[in-house]
């Protein structure tokens, strides 16, 4: 299980558990699962999708950054 935190300039959009996260990386979309290797990447315009017990949630973004370290996923995004 991942601990996901999505922050925009306005507020914390989500802070909780997620099974997996799809992000629109600058070099293409990629998926983050439990025990993912540490990474820092820029994000481009697209859709962030995360899956938890409630199901799938989508969030349109204009860009941002993602950092993954020890099952902690942090996204700093600009919303559409």
Q: What is the pLDDT of residues 22-66, one digit of tens each?
A: 999 999 999 999 999 999 999 999 999 999 999 999 999 999 999
Dihedral angle of Cα 35, 42, 6, 31, to the nearest 10 degrees:
-40
Residue written as token pair 């990447």 = 41
Q: How far apart are CA 13 and CA 29, in angstroms?
A: 20
Q: What is the pTM of this model?
A: 0.94
How distant, in Å, are the alpha carbons of 2, 56, 66, 76 from that of 44?
Answer: 22, 20, 11, 12
Res. 21 pLDDT band, cuts 50 70 90: very high
């Amino acid at each position: 299980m991942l601990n996901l935190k999505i922050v925009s300039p306005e507020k914390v959009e989500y802070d909780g558990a997620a099974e997996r996260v799809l992000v629109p990386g600058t070099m293409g979309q990629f998926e983050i699962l439990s025990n993912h290797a540490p990474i820092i990447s820029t994000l481009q315009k697209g859709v962030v999708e995360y899956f938890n017990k409630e199901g799938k949630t989508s969030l349109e973004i204009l860009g941002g950054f993602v950092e993954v370290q020890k099952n902690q996923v942090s996204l700093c995004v600009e919303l559409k």
